[in-house]
Each structure stands twice: as C-alpha cells, then as structure tokens.
Amino acid sequence: MKVLFVGDVVGRPGRRAVKRFLPGLIDECEIDFVVANAENAAGGFGLTPDMSDELMDYGIDCITMGNHVWGKKELIATLETNPAVLRPINYPDGVPGRGETVLPSKSGTPVGVISVCGTTFMDRLCCPFKTASAAVDRLRKQAVIILVDMHAEATSEKVALGKYLDGKVSAVIGTHTHVQTADEQILSAGTAYLTDCGMTGPVDSVLGMKSSLVMKRFLTRMPAKFEVASGPAALSAVVIDIDSAMGKASSIERITRRETEEQLISP
C-alpha cells in the first residue's frame, strides 16, 4: 500500500496547498493512507478543532503534532476525543491526548501511527527512543504497518531514532525543521527514512514566517511577534510504498507541489 506523509502545514497558505494538491495526489499516486503534521496550521502555532476537521475533509487520515501542540488550547478537547489527532507521545503521564493510534486506511488496512518529539535542543520530554519503542510493541498487536513522525531539531537524533526502529516500523519520517532533506532511503532492515519531510506553507518566508519579522528578531535580539507569510505555497511530502503483509517499505520518494502566482489570482 502507498502512504503519503505531508510535512508541517503552516497557516492559511499551507491549508490552501493541502486543499489544492492533496485530493489530486491521492488519486494520481493511488494513496491509501495520509499522515500530515499540522502543528503550525493555525496562524503558525497550533491547530484548532475546525481546522483539524477541514484538513481531514481534504483526505488526511491522521494528524500529528509537535512542540506547538498546545498553541491553541481548544485543541485539547479534540486530542482527548479524536483518535486521529495525535500529540507527541513522550509527554509525562497524565497529559491530555494520545501519541499513538491505529486507524483504518482508505481500503481498510489497519495502520499504526506514533508521534514523538526529540529532546535535543527542545523541551525535555521523556526519552523518545524508549517511549516510541514501547508504543511499537503495543501497536504491533493491532497493525503490521506502523508509521512514526519524529518531530525533532537535531539531525543526529532523527537519524539515530530511524536506525533504532529499523525493521520494527514501516517508516520514520522527520518533521519540525521545515526544510526538506534529500536523504530519503530504505534502511537495512526495511524501514523507510527521511530526516525532514519539509514544510507545507508559503515559499517566500523563513520556515513559513514573514521574513522581515524573523530577520528583525535576529538583528535586534528583541522579542518580535511572528506572522505567517503570504504568497504561493508549496506542499512537501513523501510517498512510501509498503508491503501490507510484512510491513516493510520498498520505496520512498520525495514530492513537492508548488502554487503559481496565477493560481492565487484566479483560484
């Protein structure tokens, strides 16, 4: 079966790119299951319940989050009730929501998904390696195919988690740094891996935010409120082909779809 994994959706331009490109990609690539990281979908920080529903309507089967999961507090109710919206699994016990799930693909195959956050140059959550590994052991009883969103800053931590879970999951895909890396590969025991899936958001920006505001913060070292940039957006994703019986990946291909200026004038 083919899985599409979509990188961090940023603001209105990111949601517009999902709407514009996702349904066509699902048809064109015969996608059976779609995961998207949506931690930046609401104005760059967090996700609202309405936007979660909107993204699902475009064809996303499972939404993962990251360090911005608490950006919109109204999402907490969704995290507690909707098994298709995940927060990072390695928060301490008692935190609302879940970080692992099993959902049916479009053709009915059970697919396990785990959202996990790195801890290098990020909040000190519980160990991503041990937490994700324990979740794999639980999900394995219900699903042959397991996908992991490794939301992390440090390349080394992402590569290490990919190797650590090689052969135990179908894919480890990195998110959070918003720039797609070119190291897609099938690891030696059959896990598809990419260090960062990239961003689904405005191209003329610094990681989705208005460039002038980010530069101001770097130049002055003073607090500056960021805003999502405008203009044409790109959707960044990977298509992973997975053997449904064994759970091993056979291919991983990076995909980008970019809006034109003309499409924004006459949508």
Q: Binding residues for Fe ion, per CB under 5 A? A: 8, 39-40, 66-67, 176
CB of 8 to Fe ion, least distance (A): 4
CB of 266 to Fe ion, least distance (A): 30
User: 145 or 150: whose CB is closer to Fe ion?
Assistant: 150
User: 39 or 100: whose CB is closer to Fe ion?
Assistant: 39
Identify the sign of the CA torsion 211, 181, 55, 264. Answer: positive
68, 151, 176, 178: the catalytic one is: 68
User: Which of 7, 8, 78 is CA-nearest to residue 87?
Assistant: 78
User: Which of 239, 161, 149, 127 is CA-nearest to residue 196?
Assistant: 149
User: 144 or 228: whose CB is closer to Fe ion?
Assistant: 228
Annotated active-site residue 68? The verdict is: yes
CB of 175 to Fe ion, least distance (A): 6
**142 near 104, Cβ under 8 Å?**
no
User: 16 or 178: whose CB is closer to Fe ion?
Assistant: 178
The type of residue at 225 is K
Element (H, E) at 213: helix 211-220
**76 near 103, Cβ under 8 Å?**
no
Please write down the HEC assignment for all residues of 58-101: CCCCEEECCCCCCCCCCHHHHHHHCCCEECCCCCCCCCCCCCEE
CB of 246 to Fe ion, least distance (A): 32
Report the catalytic residues: 68
